[in-house]
Amino acid sequence: MKIAITGATGLFGHGLGAAFSTRHQVIPLTHAAADITNAPAFEAAMKQVRPDLIVHSAAIPDLDICEADPDRGFLVNSQGARNVADAARKIGAGLVHISTDAVFDGKKQTPYLESDATAPITVYGRSKLQAEEAAKAVERHWIIRVPVLFGPGKTNFVEKGLRKIAAGEDYKVASDQMGNASLTVDAGLKIMEVVEAGRCGLYHVANQGACSRFELAREAARLAGLDPAKVIGVPDAQMQRKAPRLKYSVLEMAALRSGGFTLPRPWQEALAEYISTLKL
Ligand SMILES: NC(=O)c1ccc[n+]([C@@H]2O[C@H](COP(=O)([O-])OP(=O)(O)OC[C@H]3O[C@@H](n4cnc5c(N)ncnc54)[C@H](OP(=O)(O)O)[C@@H]3O)[C@@H](O)[C@H]2O)c1
């Protein structure tokens, strides 16, 4: 298949590109070459490339930026996704839309199923939920919700912490934020498997196992041979961030299970592999 990936220079764009290019022709789309907020230009770019599938990863994933500037958040995350979906429909391409656990309210205490009600509590979450709705207008669509991502290609939650600790600083993380984590390439490979199977729909994709941000950062420090005690847990409410974080956003991968797909490996294994490649 010929597969165009938006947000190709981003963290997940790297992982998606690495995964899909193992078996397909990947056309990486940069912000400069294909701005998703410019509908006519994006459509023209797609008419030129004529992909079989668009993997839409471009977004503003920073919760605090979206909360501070809702117009920008909705323009890129919601209207941008609508433009991508429109272009996919016009050229008859399938669409993989990358979404997030932030579409939930974080009030549950057992893992969120794909079928659970959404109720985002942030601008980012609301903008991404609108984007999910837009993606549904494409006949062959996959909506993939992923949790916090780590992987090569761009600084991320894990690498940021390790660099701070390696520089002798403490790394303050929320002590009350329970969810999942995923290595970008692992999520990318699982998404490719689901797409190749032709089973459209809504999927949660993460490395197996729940973990708090605190546990994730501590395990990363330990695996990197740094002092885990330099990871300091602080309640989210005391972190003075613009957007609230979800207390609980563990994703149950019910759709993968019921579709007969194996689940991605445990997060600890994926994290160990990633950290073994990091040069701090
Ligand atoms: N990171 C996470 O932990 C996480 C967790 C859950 C879900 N997600 C979702 O995963 C996807 C990818 O996130 P990420 O972490 O890879 O983000 P990222 O590293 O910030 O990358 C986002 C990409 O989108 C591009 N972009 C931004 N505005 C654009 C526009 N108007 N037109 C075209 N491209 C534009 C950026 O290009 P420039 O940098 O050149 O502007 C960048 O390449 C997003 O849909 C996000 O909601 C991420």
Map tokens 């729940």 to a residue.
210
Query: Among residues 136, 132, 159, 133, which one has the least CA distance to residue 146?
Result: 132
12 C-beta closer than 6 A to ligand 1: yes
Q: Tally Cβ neighbours within 10 Å of residue 98.
A: 30
Ligand 1 pocket, residue 98 CB under 6 Å: yes
CA distances from 94 to 26, 59, 146, 255 (A): 14, 19, 19, 19
> Cβ distance 35 to 57 under 8 Å?
no
Nearest residue (CA) to ligand 1, atom 11? 57
Output the CATH code of domain 2-154+180-210+249-265. 3.40.50.720
For 116, the token pair is 């659970």
Domain parsing of the chain, residue ranges: 2-154+180-210+249-265
What is the structure's pLDDT at 18?
98
Given a cut of 90, is residue 90 above it in pLDDT? yes
> What is the mean predicted confidence (pLDDT) over 221-240?
96
- The strand pair at 178-179 and 211-212 is best described as antiparallel
Q: pTM of the predicted model, to two decimals?
A: 0.98
pLDDT for residue 242 is more than 90: yes
Ligand 1 pocket residue status of 268, Cβ below 6 Å: no
Task: Kindly report, residue by residue over 101-115, the tens digit of the pLDDT.
Answer: 999 999 999 999 999
Question: What is the per-residue pLDDT across 159-203, written as a single tens digit (0 to 9) for each?
Answer: 999 999 999 999 999 999 999 999 999 999 999 999 999 999 999
Q: Is residue 106 left, alpha or beta, with left meaning phi > 0 and alpha meaning psi from -120 to 50?
A: left
- Gap from CA of 87 to ligand 1 centroid (Å): 19
**Whole-number percent of the chain with pLDDT over 70:** 100
Catalytic residue among 112, 124, 171, 203: 124
How much is the pLDDT for 270?
Answer: 98
d(CA 223, CA 88) in angstroms, rounded, equals 42
pLDDT for 63 equals 98
* pLDDT, tens digit (0-9, with 9 covering 90-100), for 29-87: 999 999 999 999 999 999 999 999 999 999 999 999 999 999 999 999 999 999 999 99
Instruction: Output the pLDDT for position 215.
Output: 97
Contacts for 205 with CB less than 8 Å, ≥ 6 apart: 144, 145, 146, 182, 187, 190, 191, 253, 256, 264
Kindly state the DSSP code that residue 52 receives in the 8-state scheme.
S
Is residue 53 classed as helix, strand or coil in its secondary structure? strand
Distances (CA, A) of 181 to 64, 79, 100, 151: 20, 27, 11, 11
Q: Average the pLDDT over 220-229 and give the result.
A: 98
Any atom of ligand 1 within 6 Å of the Cβ of 57:
yes
Q: Which of 82, 149, 158 maximizes ligand 1 atoms within 8 Å of its Cβ, making it the mutation to test the pocket?
A: 149
The set of long-range contacts for 223-230, using a CB threshold of 8 Å and a minimum separation of 24, is 223/271, 223/272, 223/275, 223/276, 224/162, 224/165, 224/166, 224/275, 224/278, 224/280, 226/162, 226/165, 226/166, 226/280, 227/165, 230/164, 230/165, 230/169, 230/170, 230/171
Ligand 1 pocket residue status of 76, Cβ below 6 Å: yes
**Under 8 Å between Cβ of 187 and 100:** no
pLDDT of residue 71: 98
**pLDDT confidence bin for 280, thresholds 50/70/90:** confident
C-alpha of residue 244 to centroid of ligand 1, in Å: 20
- Integer angstrom CA distances of residue 145 from 76, 78, 212: 18, 15, 18
CB-based contact 245:120 (threshold 8 Å): no
* Cβ neighbours for 244, distance < 8 A, ≥ 6 positions apart: 121, 122, 236
Q: Whose CA is nearest to atom 5 of ligand 1?
A: 148
**pLDDT value at position 189?**
98
Quick check: is 171 catalytic?
A: no
Is 34 strand, coil or helix? coil
Q: Which atom of ligand 1 is nearest to the CA of 154?
A: 19
